[in-house]
Every structure is written in structure tokens, then in C-alpha cells.
Amino acid sequence: MNEIDIALTVNGEPVAERVEARKTLVDFLRDDLGLTGSHIGCEHGVCGACTVRVNGEIVRGCLTLAVQCDGAIVETIEGLSDSGEVADLQAAFEQRNALQCGYCTPGMIAAAQDLLKQGGVPSRDAIREHLSGNCCRCTGYHAIVDAVQSVAQERNKARAGVKR
């Protein structure tokens, strides 16, 4: 078995582990670190359930090897949630019924935050486009777009208020 030592930061904590060279990032996060908020669906880069942030960019955890993240800063839904960064998105998803089983939700929230941190209020089409790599089997997507757009509007209002 080919194993490699890696050291990275996960949700603000230093992590040093020996991993199989072939282990995916999402398997590493779930199985080795117990961070089960990142889900596994297709394992082929299609569904987005495994979306996490690496060095500030969202990636597919099923298409990224853990060893590729040596030295990286990795953030999962647990980290995004604990820091409060996505608290408004999580509340909006709940209020607008943008989740049912919740399987897609961690990836959906990570992808939505990736769009909203660019600022402004994206159009519904832009939101759909940005979330097009994240599949939801339950909601039909309208409520998800509603939730993301409402948060964009609220954040924009808050930013405008700060500038006044």
C-alpha cells in the first residue's frame, strides 16, 4: 500500500496524517477526520454533494486526492457553519424549504457561498448557472434559487448600509 504523510489545515485546525495515495479528499475528510458533512453521491464529479473549499476555491472532494491537499487550507461545511460564514444561507434554506432530505445541502451551500462572496445580487439565471454542478433530487431547485437570491439581497442591503 502506497502511503504518504500530509499536513494541512482543516477548518482552522492543523492536521497531519498518513494517507493512501489513492484516497480521495472526501473519503479522507469523512473516514479519517470524521467530518461527515461532506457527502458522497456520484463519485464522478457530477452531483456536487462532495463540494468543499480548498485554498478559497470550491472543488469536488471526490475528484481531489487527499495527497493533493498537502499544505492546503481545506474548509468543509462544518467549518463554514461553525464560523458563521454561511449562517444566513442556512437560515434561508430552512425558511424557504430549499432542502428536503438535505443530502445535497452542504455542497449546495458551499457552492452558493462561492457565488455570493463575489458580491452583488446575481440574477436567477446566474444563480442557476453557478449551482448547475450541484444536483438536488428533492426540491426542484426553485426554492434553492429563492433562498440564495434572498441572501444576496440581504447582504447587499447590509453592505449598502455600512457604506452610508
Which positions touch ligand FES (CB under 6 A)?
A: 40-43, 45-50, 60, 62, 99-104, 136-139
Dist CA 113 CA 80 (whole Å):
9
Evaluate the CA torsion angle 115, 102, 53, 14 in order and state its sign: positive
Minimum CB separation of residue 120 from ligand FES in Å reads 26
**Of 12 and 102, which has the nearer Cβ to ligand FES?**
102
> Dihedral through CA 32, CA 38, CA 44, CA 48, nearest 10?
-160
DSSP string covering 32-47: IT--TTS--SSSSSSS
Nearer to ligand FES among residue 5 and residue 31 (C-beta)? 31
From residue 15, alpha-carbon distances to 10, 40, 66, 77, 80 in Å are 7, 22, 12, 17, 17
Minimum CB separation of residue 134 from ligand FES in Å reads 8
Cα–Cα distance, 41 to 51 (Å, whole number): 11
Among 8, 12, 114, 133, which residue's Cα sits nearest to residue 65? 8
Smallest separation (angstroms) from ligand FES to the CB of 101: 3
> Residue 121 CB, nearest distance to ligand FES (Å)?
24
Least distance to ligand FES from the beta carbon of 115, Å? 17
Q: Which is nearer to ligand FES, 81 or 100 (CB)?
A: 100
Q: Which is closer to ligand FES, CB of 79 or CB of 106?
A: 106
Cβ closer to ligand FES: 62 or 110? 62
